[in-house]
Structure 1
Amino acid sequence: MAGVVVVFDFDKTIIDVDSNNWVVDGLGATELFDRLLPTMPWNTLIDTLMGELHAQGRTLRDVADVLRIAPIDPHVVAAIRAAHSLGCDLKVLSDANRFFIETVLDHHGLRGCFSEINTNPSHVDADGRLRIAPHHDFHATPHDCGLGTCPPNMCKGQVLHRIRASVTAEDGARKRFIYLGDGSGDYCPSLRLAREDFMMPRKGYPVWDLICENPGLLQAEVHPWSDSKGVIDKKLPHFT
């Protein structure tokens, strides 16, 4: 379906865990994480922890090995492949980081299904240490979302607005958007979806709770999903 754009969150949507916590726990840095958490923004914290792990002798391969065993529901994998095979334009919009996301997608043979990954940038420095930067440089200029549910380093609503403008500009045709997410940061983009769009919040997670507080604020049709077998891989291809 060339007229359908499917936007996936990553943590607890494509994979069944938070990738940052998964790496921190898997590499034995949980105590340090808990100690530093009250002192700095989340995105800065993960970058700092990557530096601490590197100083302890942990390599980029160690990080990647942990990511490759992150749990992923086979029904989500099936949904991604089905939507891609139908011709949908699939994109990732996540507050994780590029290295984590690409490592997981490559491992499961899914990276080629996605035309775009919108996330916090990452790179490996000259010392072999993974660096993670904010998607939006909030130290220089706040993103001024104003909703109160977006982290300082990324307003997903603003990113979704840019994505819509970009895909519309390609051929001038309006696209139908389907958005899948779980966290409070996914609430802002849900409010920017149009009447012909679909919002698929993960039931029982923060975005679902926020939507339920005042469902009338959303224009898009809401279709929750959960861990139930076959829910997401049957619903998503049906909407496309």
Structure 2
Amino acid sequence: MRMAAASNGAPLVVFDFDKTIVDCDSDNWVVDALGATRRFDELLRHLPWNHAIDAMMGELHSEGKTAEDIRGSLRRAPLSPHVVAAIKTAYALGCELRILSDANAFFVDTILAHHGLADYFSGTDTNPAHVDAAGRLRIRPYHEFGAAAHGHGCALPTCPPNMCKGKVMERILLQEEAAAAAAAASAKSRRRRAVVYLGDGRGDYCPSLKLRGGDYVMPRAGHPLCDLIAASPPAAAVRGWAGFEDLARVLLGIVDGEIARAAAEEGAGAGVVVVVPARQEALMPQAVRVPN
């Protein structure tokens, strides 16, 4: 299902995962579902989060919990039908979609596959994870840190030691600039496409600061990213959202606007007046079945 990025001006959309695509923290969801909340809280007293969730998976394995038990809990994680509809509609309009998450590959992949969404995304940057030969889920940091590694080197206190999303966003933006330069050389485009970033937490602030004028950041209202942006805004335009129906409305409004702007620029270059009407259809998501 994956396709090459459209040349119609549709933006690149980068999603956080926890509390943005799914309405929960996926680590806590699994720990709570498997009855290990108290033990996980104890681990967090003396381990960084990423190391604690890996250790927690080890303890669950020693108690007889399997990778399939973990998958089963993840399949019950709450995911709004409005998010599903927004993903599918943005994709149909020509957006390239990516995930940038401090969850982990096993959790993200399981949930996306369960809801039939995996093929809508061109890539995922998250903490690596795999099931080892003994059947134990291992979760590693995206950026190795500790005595044997230097970590990501970002000085922003909102970035956890295992992942600086800003470093990843810098790489994504460099790739976008290179693609825009190549397109300009072949007279296919005049500017790079906009980047839209959706997130909620403290770790989403650093990538928001990497965005530039012409880009967009969509912070979830009532969450730490919204407060951080209010205190020190990024260069990107800020478009907040309060709930998942709102997320869909705001995101698709940005997509429509960027496509319309690209069409107008192309028409102006050709000496043609282009009128692009806004989409009038209501966003009607299909229900997402979550098994009991």
Q: How does 1:193-212 map to 2 (within 5 A)?
A: 193-212=211-230
Partner SS for 1:90: strand
**Which residue number in structure 1 is paired with residue 247 of structure 2?**
232
Q: Which runs of 5+ in 1 are unaligned?
A: none
The yes-or-no answer on 1:221 pairing with 2:228 is no
The runs of at least 4 aligned residues of structure 1 exceeding 4 Å deviation read none
Instruction: Tell me the TM-score normalised to structure 1 length.
Output: 0.96
1:84 maps to 91
**Equivalent AA in structure 2 for residue 27 of structure 1:** L
| TM-score between both structures, scaled by the size of structure 2 | 0.79
Matched, 1:9 2:47: no
- What pairs up with 1:2-151 in 2 under 5 angstroms? 2=7, 3=9, 4-139=11-146, 140-151=149-160
C-alpha separation in 1, matches of 2:59 and 2:176? 40
- Residue type of the partner of 1:121? P
Cα shift at 1:167: 3.4
Structure 2 counterpart SS, 1:230: helix
In 2, Cα distance between equivalents of 1:94 and 1:58: 25
Alignment counterpart, residue 159 of structure 1, candidates 168, 171, 175: 168
- Structure 1 residue 166 displacement after superposition: 2.1
| 1:34-76 deviation digits (Å, cap 9, x = unpaired) | 1111101100000000000000000000000000010011111
1:168 is displaced (CA, Å) by: 3.2
Out of 201, 204, 225, the residue aligned to residue 186 of structure 1 is: 204
Aligned residue for 2:218, secondary structure, equals strand
User: How far is the alpha carbon of 1:212 from its aligned partner?
Assistant: 1.0
Measure, in 1, the Cα distance between the counterparts of 2:19 and 2:136. 26
Distance in 1, Cα, partners of 2:121 & 2:141: 21
Take 1:112 and 1:100, find their aligned partners in 2: how far apart are those partners?
A: 16
Deviation at 1:128, TM superposition (A): 0.7
Matched residue SS, 1:39: coil
Deviations 1:138-163 (A, max 9, x none): 12012111111000010001101111
Quick check: 1:169 aligned with 2:178?
A: yes
Larger Rg: 2
C-alpha distance in 1 between matches for 2:88 and 2:70: 26
Amino acid paired to 2:101: S
Cα distance in structure 2, aligned partners of 1:230 and 1:202: 12
Distance between the aligned counterparts of 2:161 and 2:175, measured in 1?
23
What is the root-mean-square deviation in Å for CA atoms of aligned residues? Answer: 1.2
Cα deviation 1:159-188 (Å, max 9, x = unaligned): 011112123334525221000000000000
Q: Give 1:112 deviation, angstroms.
A: 0.5
- The residue matched to 2:150 in structure 1 has which SS? coil
What code does the residue aligned with 2:238 have? V
Report the CA distance between 1:231 and its aligned residue: 1.2
Deviations 1:179-222 (A, max 9, x none): 0000000000111111100110001000001111123xx11110
Gaps of 5+ in 2: 1-5, 184-191, 256-292
CA distance in 1, matches of 2:245, 2:225: 21
Percent of aligned pairs sharing the same letter: 55
SS at match of 1:53: helix
Distance in structure 2 (CA, Å) of the matches to 1:170 and 1:54 = 45
**Which residue type is aligned with residue 219 of structure 1?**
A
